[in-house]
Structure 1
Amino acid sequence: MELVTNLMTGFGVAFTPINLLYCFIGCVLGTLIGVLPGIGPVATIAMLLPATYALPPVSALIMLAGIYYGAQYGGSTTAILVNLPGESASVVTVIDGHQMARQGRAGPALAAAGLGSFFAGCVGTLILAAFAAPLTEVAFKFGSAEYFSLMVLGLIGAVVLASGSLIKAIAMIVLGLLLGLIGTDVNSGVARFSFDIPELTDGIGFVVIAMGVFGYGEIISNLSQSSEHREVFTGKVKGLFPTKEDFKRMLPAVLRGTFLGSALGILPGGGALLSSFAAYTIEKKTRLQPGEVPFGKGNIRGVAAPESANNAGSQTSFIPLLTLGIPPNAVMALMVGAMTIHNIQPGPQVMTSNPQLFWGLIASMWLGNLMLVVLNLPLIGIWIKLLSVPYRWLFPAIVLFCAIGVYSTNNNTFDVWTVAIFGVIGYVFIKLGCEPAPLLLGFILGPMMEEHLRRALLLSRGDWSVLITRPLSASLLAAALILIVIVALPSIKAKREEAFVED
């Protein structure tokens, strides 16, 4: 009964005209920045933080939260239509979503992403409301050793996720880890692998690599072919909404993605990104039904599961922020900044000292998800119009949007040139048959793995056995080892290669 009373309080706060307006503004802005490749929620929230000074605290946080989960919706649009992950959590959606668009099934792909995100968002919000306090106990049990082991498991999962050769997948992860080392050493403050280039002392940005490898690489690959052989949006769109068969396949994938995203969102370092990768990995390990399209060739489960997972993860990542005061990712760190601006100390006391803010924010998430479905599903027809744009006009627009997105992050022309370099590298990957998704996961998790490993070794005074003497850490490493053994088994390896065989 207490939960119902609290939610009634929350809806009373969220349903005020001013908060509904800012929730709507946040959702629209989130969708727009998700659609525009390169301009992620981190950059947008960072730019809008000064604007929240004049707003009431609850309205400010409702708007910023709307931007965050709205970007998870919008990011899938460019991933599906133009092979560009508009947001980092949409990297996996590119793999099957863009293939569906090429086959004239962009409508069902966008609808699957939208409906999956709505369901997962609602479930994530309910979990946040019902289990915020007890679920933080799980996060309490995670030390640096456990985080390191969790990330090792995530990288092993990325090897399983990658199509094609296992050796190439491992090479991509290692390359991602190496790229993540570029920058300034966390402990000593000394620049490393920067080759005396001042711009590299802060490291290479995720947006730079994602836009270069996925966006520019694909453009160069298409321009290297004659116009009739270009694998862009050929054929007519067969329908705007999924068929009954699609719904039948989507539903279990959405449920699995929602469950996984809700669990991983609580853990720092998890959130929307790791959730989407993990959900896709699980779907690929789930047996294909008779007549079902293979993964990597336009399987609707490859869109529905990661999109559900990233939205559920983005909702439940508020749990450690609101109950522990620990930001699990960069966006939540900015939310801490927004709360501090308004003299609110994030942590367990928020629930008791400022219940209107706590429950008002939770109630606004459900309203925001409803707004996003109402906003996005009717707009599917407009997004499909992108398919009719001739490629000679489309590719300069993609190049321009990428350049603007990358430049706006740091206001630095060096980043624009770096994207061009990674575009050439992305083209080489396409020619070599290498999947770039594991590279991006290695790049993101690499610095975090290093930080947690070094912290664990500092706390244990250099004793590496801390990774296997702590039960939770040992369990995660054992799961990673079992995954390696399973994938290496000849029978599994043969089936995996058969699943990824090129047409």
Structure 2
Amino acid sequence: MESLYGILHGLAVAIQPTHLLYTLIGVFIGTMISHLPGIGPSAGIALLIPVTFGMDPITALMMLTGIYYGCMYGGAVTAILLNTPGDAAAVMTVLDGYPMARRGRAAAALAIAGVSSFIAGMIGVTCLSFVAVPLAAVALHFGPTEYFALIFFALSTVGALNGNSIAKGMMAVFMGLGLATIGIDLQSGVPRFTMGLSQLQDRVSFLVVVVGLFAIAEVSRMVEGTLGGTLHSVKVEGKLWFTKKEWRRARPAIFRGTAVGFLCGAAPGLGGTLAAMLSYVLEKKISKHPEEFGKGAVEGIAAPEAATNADTCGAFVHLLALGVPGSGATAVIMGAFIMYGIQPGPMLFHTQPDLVWGLIASMYIGNIMLLVLNLPLVGILSKILYVPPGILLCLILGIASAGVYSFNNDVFDLYLALAFGVLGYLFRKLDVPKAPLLFGLILGHTLEQSFRQALTISNGDPTVFFRSPIAAGLLLCAAVMVAASVWSKRRPVKELQQAEERIAQQRLAEEQR
């Protein structure tokens, strides 16, 4: 009942004209960003955080959150029309979305993706509403020991389950933790690893890291794709809907994908990529027509899209209830929370009820807005794909530079963002996941402080982390997740490799034509 009252209270907050307007702006911007291959929600949110300076926190966070699920909602457009996944999660949508579009069913494929995303989003927000409060009540019993174990568990699963290599994932985590140590040590007041630069004494700005690591680095991928001539568009033609037969096949896949996606989102570190892969594998396993997958199967579009959008809602469970981001994008949003002086976590439901319930309620409204935007207007919105690459890339770099400079009005931040852009480019070339580094940077400070506080309370006794049942259980879960990650990756990675091979074959066939 508390959750039900919270939802009703949140709707009263969310339907205020200003909040409705900025929710619409957020989901619209997110939809537009999703039409830009390679510019994901993390980069999009980071680019627009400076725009929210001076705004009411509730309004700003509603808009930033709208950008997040708006990006995930419309991410199928480039996958279906361009045969180019905007992010890793969209790789599975490419497998059947692009072949279906090549058969003249591009509009139907987009409609299936839109309806799947809407249903999964509404179910996911409902689950978020009723799961977050009990989880927050449990989290009230957390102390420094439990928080250390929780963050350790989150970072372990992120490092182990992101990307195709555990070693690369863990390396990225430790790089993020290393960046988190830069600045003034709170205990001693001594500068650490600043190399004598006064700009680094106030820690490395997450905005600079995100813009460089995602936006600037991903521009290079678009440049390579444009120069290599690998971007092939498909015009949206025909009636923007699907047949009754296609709906009967898609409907059960949507609900199964929603369940898989929300569970993956609620588990720290799994993320939308693994959710999309697992849902695709599940549908292919239980399908009566597995030979159709990869050739335009409706289930191959509905399940991954539902899983990706349900994962978005699941990721907010950890952010709001525990103060631990569940994905790279929610890590950026958590940075926005902190920038406004708001600490996500169990007390948020008591100290900021208007914010937390208004934010959840705005996701209901935002999903309805997205359905309206993505179905009737998809033909118009897809025109952004035909903007000359030179103009598009200049706009992206201009927005990125302005956002970074306006944060501190310091040219040093531009050079630092460029350095992280080079690092992001190398990460992409070496197949190193970026999300673990961002997690390490955001959570590293809290991890260190919780570790120090726990040892101070126990007079330096390390067994304090095993005397607490919650902490011991979380540390055990971390060990199990790392140990099981090799097994859990075998089949999904194989499917992903096959997906990439099929995409390459399709592109080669298009070039030959």
Choose the corresponding residue for 1:307, options 293, 306, 309: 309
Secondary structure of the residue aligned to 1:47 is coil
Cross-structure match for 1:24: 20
- For residues 366-377 of structure 1, what are the structure 2 equivalents within 5 Å? 366-375=364-373, 377=375
Choose the corresponding residue for 2:451, options 436, 445, 453: 453
1:48 Cα shift?
A: 0.6
Q: Which range moved further: 389-398 or 94-103?
A: 94-103
Q: Identify if the C-alpha distance between structure 1 residues 308 and 393 changes in structure 2 by more than 3 Å, giving closer, same or farther.
A: same
Cross-structure match for 1:256: 260
1:408 Cα shift?
A: 3.3
1:370 Cα shift?
A: 3.1
CA distance in 1, matches of 2:260, 2:315: 13
Instruction: Normalising by structure 2, report the TM-score.
Output: 0.69
1:467 Cα shift?
A: 1.8
Q: Which amino acid aligns with 1:212?
A: G
Q: Identify if the C-alpha distance between structure 1 residues 215 and 10 changes in structure 2 by more than 3 Å, giving closer, same or farther.
A: closer
Cross-structure match for 1:341: none
1:169–1:438 CA contact under 8 A, matched in 2 = yes
2:119–2:306 CA contact under 8 A, matched in 1 = no
Q: Identify if the C-alpha distance between structure 1 residues 93 and 469 changes in structure 2 by more than 3 Å, giving closer, same or farther.
A: farther
**Which whole-Å deviations, capped at 9, do the CAs of 1:306-355 have from their partners, x for residues lacking one?**
4323335548866689xxxxxx94555577779xxxxxx9774888xxxx
1:198 Cα shift?
A: 1.9
1:398 Cα shift?
A: 1.9
1:27 Cα shift?
A: 0.6
Cross-structure match for 1:124: 125
Q: Which range moved further: 244-253 or 95-104?
A: 95-104
CA distance in 1, matches of 2:212, 2:24: 27
Q: Identify if the C-alpha distance between structure 1 residues 32 and 46 changes in structure 2 by more than 3 Å, giving closer, same or farther.
A: farther
Secondary structure of the residue aligned to 1:202 is coil
1:495 Cα shift?
A: 4.5
CA distance in 2, matches of 1:216, 1:110: 32
Superposition RMSD in Å: 4.5
CA distance in 1, matches of 2:321, 2:494: 41
**Which whole-Å deviations, capped at 9, do the CAs of 1:113-138 have from their partners, x for residues lacking one?**
7853675456535764x677654321
Cross-structure match for 2:87: 94
1:258 Cα shift?
A: 3.5
**Which whole-Å deviations, capped at 9, do the CAs of 1:443-497 have from their partners, x for residues lacking one?**
32322322222222222222222222211221122122112222346xx665565
- For residues 86-485 of structure 1, what are the structure 2 equivalents within 5 Å? 94-97=87-90, 112=113, 116=117, 119-120=120-121, 124=125, 128=129, 134-223=134-223, 227=227, 229-231=228-230, 233-236=231-234, 244=247, 248-258=252-262, 261=265, 274=268, 277-278=270-271, 280-281=273-274, 284=277, 287-288=281-282, 289=284, 290=290, 304-314=306-316, 329-332=334-337, 348=350, 366-375=364-373, 377-485=375-483
1:280–1:302 CA contact under 8 A, matched in 2 = no
CA distance in 2, matches of 1:350, 1:486: 38
Q: Identify if the C-alpha distance between structure 1 residues 396 and 303 changes in structure 2 by more than 3 Å, giving closer, same or farther.
A: farther
What is the identity percentage for the equivalent residue pairs of Structure 1 and Structure 2? Answer: 27
Q: Which range moved further: 279-288 or 398-407?
A: 279-288
CA distance in 1, matches of 2:430, 2:357: 51
CA distance in 2, matches of 1:364, 1:496: 33
Cross-structure match for 1:69: 65
**Which whole-Å deviations, capped at 9, do the CAs of 1:47-77 have from their partners, x for residues lacking one?**
213xx9xxxxxxxx5x455324323233447
Cross-structure match for 2:494: 498
Q: Which amino acid aligns with 2:455?
A: L
Q: Which amino acid aligns with 1:473?
A: A
Q: Which amino acid aligns with 2:117?
A: G
CA distance in 2, matches of 1:363, 1:38: 20
**Which whole-Å deviations, capped at 9, do the CAs of 1:341-399 have from their partners, x for residues lacking one?**
xxxx9774888xxxx99988876664454345434554433432121223233222221
Cross-structure match for 2:326: none
Q: Identify if the C-alpha distance between structure 1 residues 21 and 364 changes in structure 2 by more than 3 Å, giving closer, same or farther.
A: same
Instruction: Normalising by structure 1, report the TM-score.
Output: 0.70
**Which whole-Å deviations, capped at 9, do the CAs of 1:233-264 have from their partners, x for residues lacking one?**
32315677786566654432223333565x67
CA distance in 1, matches of 2:166, 2:370: 39
1:31–1:67 CA contact under 8 A, matched in 2 = yes
CA distance in 2, matches of 1:158, 1:499: 20
CA distance in 2, matches of 1:494, 1:78: 29
1:109–1:303 CA contact under 8 A, matched in 2 = no
Q: Identify if the C-alpha distance between structure 1 residues 389 and 431 changes in structure 2 by more than 3 Å, giving closer, same or farther.
A: same
Q: Which amino acid aligns with 2:89?
A: D
Secondary structure of the residue aligned to 1:48 is coil
1:93–1:302 CA contact under 8 A, matched in 2 = no
Q: Identify if the C-alpha distance between structure 1 residues 310 and 148 changes in structure 2 by more than 3 Å, giving closer, same or farther.
A: farther
Q: Which amino acid aligns with 2:309?
A: E
1:39 Cα shift?
A: 4.3
1:113–1:307 CA contact under 8 A, matched in 2 = no
Q: Identify if the C-alpha distance between structure 1 residues 420 and 358 changes in structure 2 by more than 3 Å, giving closer, same or farther.
A: closer
**Which whole-Å deviations, capped at 9, do the CAs of 1:135-157 have from their partners, x for residues lacking one?**
43212232222222222222232
Q: Identify if the C-alpha distance between structure 1 residues 206 and 373 changes in structure 2 by more than 3 Å, giving closer, same or farther.
A: farther
1:6 Cα shift?
A: 8.1
Q: Which amino acid aligns with 1:215?
A: A
CA distance in 1, matches of 2:302, 2:257: 9
Where do 5+ consecutive residues of structure 2 fail to align?
Answer: 34-43, 80-84, 285-289, 295-299, 324-332, 502-513
CA distance in 2, matches of 1:412, 1:114: 45
1:429–1:436 CA contact under 8 A, matched in 2 = yes
1:148–1:452 CA contact under 8 A, matched in 2 = yes
CA distance in 2, matches of 1:208, 1:110: 37
1:416 Cα shift?
A: 2.1
CA distance in 2, matches of 1:451, 1:313: 24
1:147–1:452 CA contact under 8 A, matched in 2 = yes
1:47 counterpart = 2:51: no
CA distance in 1, matches of 2:319, 2:352: 16
CA distance in 2, matches of 1:359, 1:434: 36
Cross-structure match for 1:58: none
1:210 Cα shift?
A: 2.7
1:195 Cα shift?
A: 1.1
CA distance in 2, matches of 1:82, 1:185: 45
